[in-house]
Chains A and B, each alone.
Chain A
Amino acid sequence: MSTTATVHQTKWWSGGKSPFNLEYGKLMMWYFLMSDAFTFGAFLISYGAIRFSQNFWPDPNAVFNAFPGMGHQNLPLAFVSVMTFILIISSVTMVLAVHAGHNQNKNGVIKWIAWTIVGGLAFLSCQAWEWHHLLTGGHGVLVDGKIQMAVQNMRGNPWGKLVENTTALTAALNNTPHETLVQLIHFHDHTKTLQELAAMPDTQLRGMIDLAEMHIREKGPVAFGGYFFGITGFHGFHVFSGVIINSIMLIMTKKGVFERKGHYLMIEKAGLYWHFVDLVWVFVFLCFYLI
């Protein structure tokens, strides 16, 4: 390659050119991404420190085991692997968009950046579903000798220690108010409507509850929700802004802005940002879902 020879001859620091062989905007994008890596790193490390400071931490396979349309089936890691592959593929389409830009191929850029936007939107939809599922799905939790319905949010985590003491559970069931019994049964068994269940007497409702199948747990660490929603939310915000940036790139490409400029460096910068979003997800995936 003729370029290899040039590298050795070039006096990089003699002025008149970029000593890093990068134009200003792209170099600054790199430094922004480095600082953003520290922001994400600090969040994840703070999560790690809190997790190490607890005697108990919920098992991710118990928390993230749902899949859209599959009801209450226990499918650990399934949905998040779909999300991961969506981001990897959208990263690949972004590489192809940048390459099309190198070749001054306007239609190629339009095609691949459009697919990248589709991938980003698909990922955001998945995340919206997952958040909705965690925020609304009630679970039976043993608190102060009573069973409560609790969801995963910023104030509580329903995936504490599993309660194995059946006598305590039976006693708790007798203290549990009518509405909670109705919700508990309805969550596990949709054959009867809430109204039908509500009309039944408590003794009959208690008879319908199979404690072994209910997985009644204690409350888990409160910090779980804050870290999970905070960090995946911050990442989701990056994906969202990446989709916005890519959409602007798509419009500018269509209008021929880069064609008139004679180069598609802007696409490269957007590409760097998008790959970074994928890179962060690799670590979020590791810290929250895998380990």
Chain B
Amino acid sequence: MDHQQDVVSPEITFQHQHSDADFRKRVRKTTIILSILTAIELGFGLTIYTIHKGENPNPTLVLMFKGMISILTLAKAYYIVSVFMHLGDEIRNMIMTIVVPLLLFIWFITAFIYEGNSYKNLRNRYDPHFRETMMPSQHHKADTAVKTQGGKE
């Protein structure tokens, strides 16, 4: 096992060796991907801003853009973890001990967003004061009003 000669620790069986050229190419590619994804996210963010300023903001359209931004964020997270943190180069069992527990987030996010939404609906039904304070429809009206004065702040 002559390749073990340059191994840094007796616990480690083999090291990942990328040639300098390979490595540079990979880092450059990932940096560009991350920058482009961020730029697209910012573009979508500004699109949402413009939609909010418009006459009748379409909530479904806004939600769609927010969903797309979230997906792009997950893509960015994948590239950071897989390439920059080299998790993609580790052996499969190791990757699984990190990734499988994170699946808990699927339940975690769904359950608590559902919880918050349900709390809002119950309060709107049983607490007239809460319902009067700030209804979603007024939120959009408020944003429309921003537009008429916007830009010259």
Contact = CB atoms under 8 A, between A and B. Distances in A.
A31 to B, nearest CB: 8
A256 interface: no
A286 B73 contact: yes
Given A2-B3, A3-B14, A20-B93, A92 B145 contact: no
B61 interface: no
B69 A23 contact: no
A46 B111 CA distance: 11
Contact of B91 (A12, A49, A85, A88): A12
Contacts of B108: 41-42, 45
Given A6-B14, A52-B113, A20 B90 contact: yes
Interface residues of A, number: 80
B90 to A, nearest CB: 7
Nearest to B53: A61
A161 B137 CA distance: 11
- Chain B interface extent, by class: 35 or more
Nearest to A50: B116
B49 to A, nearest CB: 5
B91 A21 contact: yes
A272 B116 CA distance: 34
A135 interface: no
Given A95-B27, A291-B69, A54 B134 contact: yes
29 contacts: A6-B3, A17-B10, A17-B12, A22-B11, A22-B12, A24-B11, A34-B101, A38-B104, A45-B112, A45-B113, A48-B116, A49-B112, A52-B117, A53-B117, A55-B133, A56-B139, A77-B49, A91-B80, A91-B84, A95-B27, A96-B27, A99-B27, A164-B145, A213-B153, A215-B149, A279-B80, A290-B41, A291-B48, A291-B70
Interface of A: 1-3, 6-7, 10, 12, 17-24, 27, 30-31, 34, 37-38, 41-42, 45-46, 48-57, 59, 61-62, 65, 72-74, 76-77, 81, 84-85, 88, 91-92, 94-96, 99, 103, 160-162, 164, 212-213, 215, 217-218, 262-263, 265, 271-272, 275-276, 278-279, 282-283, 285-286, 289-291
Interface of B: 3, 8-17, 20, 23, 27, 31, 34-35, 38, 41-42, 44-46, 48-49, 52, 66, 69-70, 73, 76-77, 80-81, 84-85, 87, 90-91, 93-94, 97-98, 101-102, 104-105, 108-109, 112-113, 115-117, 119-120, 123-124, 130-131, 133-136, 138-139, 141-143, 145-146, 148-153
